[in-house]
Homo-oligomer: A and B are copies of this chain.
């Protein structure tokens, strides 16, 4: 009911390790239950094999744990996006690579993804840097495509919003109902981008 193997204290100077364990347990809880509410001090403590008050050594309160998981999630998404895009020279390939990396992240941590882009006000504040940096990269890629004559986008910012929305919807619905015959991420991205990257007019 409590922990199976009672854990022994970290050595001196290694107290910080517990922080990582707490974050990992919280992220695991979110992913397994699909709910942020499942992250309780007592359940996290149970999973690691510590007493609940020990958490206060590393986090000021319960919400701070969830916040830290969210921060880590945004950071991981951002590096995934950046890495995937910087590997491609061609603007259209870069855009495509960024979109696929986005969907891959969502598929890797579906519950965390849903929470990252969910409704909490704390998250919305935090989204701003992501939007300007990571999604900004998508906008830039779209703009590059337009400049290179690879897409017909007349308003790259607005088009990037709609591309983002399509990715978001695909990521969420596919995670919730996997067996509806969804195309794979690559095919979905091609499908989505085709509305914006078809050959320009006369």
* A residues lining the B interface (CB < 8 Å): 34-35, 37, 111, 114, 117-119, 124, 127, 157-158, 161-162, 164-170, 172-174, 176-177, 180-183, 188, 191-192, 194-195, 198
Residue of B nearest to A182 (CB): B161
Residue of B nearest to A165 (CB): B169
For this complex, 8 residue pairs linking A to B, each with C-beta atoms less than 8 Å apart, are A34-B119, A117-B172, A161-B180, A161-B182, A162-B188, A164-B169, A168-B173, A194-B195
A40 to B94: give the CA distance in the assembly, Å: 48
A118 to B191: give the CA distance in the assembly, Å: 24
Copies of this chain present in the complex amount to 2
A173 to B114: give the CA distance in the assembly, Å: 12
Question: Residues of B contacting A198 with CB < 8 Å?
Answer: 198
Contact A183 B195 (CB under 8 A): no
Residue of B nearest to A35 (CB): B119
Question: Residues of B contacting A157 with CB < 8 Å?
Answer: 181
Contact B164 A173 (CB under 8 A): yes
Residue of B nearest to A37 (CB): B37
Contact B168 A172 (CB under 8 A): yes
A71 to B168: give the CA distance in the assembly, Å: 25
State the Cβ distance, A92 to closest chain B Cβ, in Å: 16
Among B127, B172, B180, which residue has its beta carbon within 8 angstroms of that of A169? B172
A194 to B183: give the CA distance in the assembly, Å: 19
Residue of B nearest to A166 (CB): B166
- Assuming the contacts A37-B37, A165-B166, asked whether A117 and B173 have C-beta atoms less than 8 A apart, the reply is yes
Question: Residues of B contacting A167 with CB < 8 Å?
Answer: 169
Residue of B nearest to A187 (CB): B158
Contact B177 A124 (CB under 8 A): yes
A119 to B33: give the CA distance in the assembly, Å: 10
Question: Residues of B contacting A192 with CB < 8 Å?
Answer: 162, 166, 195
